[in-house]
């Protein structure tokens, strides 16, 4: 992994990147940029993929971030990811969910409202620091839903339920569309909601994305990829609420299945 870090808080970029199934690491990777210490790990299965045809994949990824001096990490506003043209999201024919069905709902209520649209699950943690109060960490479950396809744009909805300080549903929208740019073929843009009135920052996550379904009598997979040249490429840009930006590149190997 090669990351050109312009600012602390690379975690949010890697969350969005993981959501589209590109990043994979055999063991945890730890990166320090100034005051920030980031650890990330994950895997794509199966590890061997066809060279010419797309095959179903599942993704597991986890990460953690902290600062060396114990201060609050900055909050992200948007994340833009360009990922390899040999990986894609396949959502047509899968049941979808609307953001309004997830807002102000507990995890169990969100699942009940959009059970057939679930594409992944995991856990998350956010750190909250209010003025003149000691910071605290809130943990909660994370569920990923298919938001549907419209005019060539696929939407993912990431629902987290944490106490910040009162129990709150945090819904992040990720929009994915084709974007032909050399080695990149898809662009994903995530808009990160304000957490605890701007006092909260994401510090930990673990998630797994895997979903198969049937369309017109044929079995489909939500995530697909092929190993065309032995490597996957991705590029991400994060815009923070304080006006700064972060850019990062990821290169991962893959193996051709016979």
- The mean per-residue pLDDT over the stretch 90-116 comes to 96
| 115 or 16, greater pLDDT | 115
pLDDT for position 99 = 95
Window from 5-14, 97-106, 124-133, 164-173 with minimum mean pLDDT: 5-14
| 186 or 18, greater pLDDT | 186
Give the pLDDT band of residue 28 (cuts 50, 70, 90): low
Tokens 């290169």 sit on residue: 251
Q: What is the mean pLDDT of the chain?
A: 81
- The mean per-residue pLDDT over the stretch 219-244 comes to 82
- The mean per-residue pLDDT over the stretch 147-166 comes to 93
pLDDT in tens, 163-191: 888 899 999 998 989 888 888 988 888 88
Give the pLDDT band of residue 5 (cuts 50, 70, 90): very low
- The mean per-residue pLDDT over the stretch 112-131 comes to 94
pLDDT in tens, 249-258: 777 788 998 6
pTM to 2 decimals? 0.82
Rg over alpha carbons for the chain, rounded to the nearest Å, is: 18
Contacts of 190 (CB under 8 A, 6+ apart): 12, 15, 16, 19, 78, 79, 80, 81, 172, 173, 174, 175
Compute the C-alpha angle 18/24/26, nearest 5°. Answer: 140
pLDDT in tens, 38-92: 676 666 778 799 999 999 988 777 677 778 898 888 777 777 778 788 888 999 9
Question: Does residue 208 register a pLDDT over 80?
Answer: yes
- How many other β-carbons are positioned within 10 Å of the β-carbon of residue 122? 19
pLDDT for position 24 = 41
- The mean per-residue pLDDT over the stretch 16-33 comes to 50
Determine contact, residues 73/127, Cβ cutoff 8 Å: yes
């Amino acid at each position: 992994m090669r990351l050109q870090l312009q600012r602390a808080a690379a975690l949010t970029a890697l969350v969005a990147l993981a959501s589209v199934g590109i990043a994979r690491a055999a063991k945890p990777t730890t990166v320090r940029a100034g005051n920030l210490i980031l650890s990330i790990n994950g895997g794509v299965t199966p590890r061997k993929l066809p060279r010419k045809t797309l095959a179903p994949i599942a993704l597991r990824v986890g990460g953690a971030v902290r600062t060396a001096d114990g201060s609050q990490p900055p909050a992200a506003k948007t994340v833009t990811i360009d990922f390899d043209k040999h990986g894609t999201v396949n959502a047509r024919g899968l049941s979808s969910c609307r953001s309004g069905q997830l807002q102000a709902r507990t995890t169990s209520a969100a699942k009940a409202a959009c059970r057939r649209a679930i594409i992944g699950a995991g856990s998350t943690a956010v750190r909250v620091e209010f003025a003149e109060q000691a910071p605290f960490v809130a943990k909660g479950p994370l569920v990923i839903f298919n938001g549907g396809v419209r005019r060539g744009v696929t939407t993912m909805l990431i629902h987290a339920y944490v106490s910040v300080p009162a129990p709150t549903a945090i819904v992040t929208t990720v929009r994915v569309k084709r974007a032909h740019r050399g080695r990149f073929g898809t662009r994903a843009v995530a808009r990160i909601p304000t957490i605890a009135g701007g006092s909260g920052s994401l510090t930990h996550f673990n998630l797994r994305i895997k979903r198969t379904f049937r369309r017109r009598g044929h079995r489909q997979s939500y995530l697909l990829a092929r190993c065309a040249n032995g490597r996957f490429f991705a590029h991400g840009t994060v815009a923070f609420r304080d006006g700064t930006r972060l850019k990062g590149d990821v290169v991962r190997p893959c193996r051709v299945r016979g």
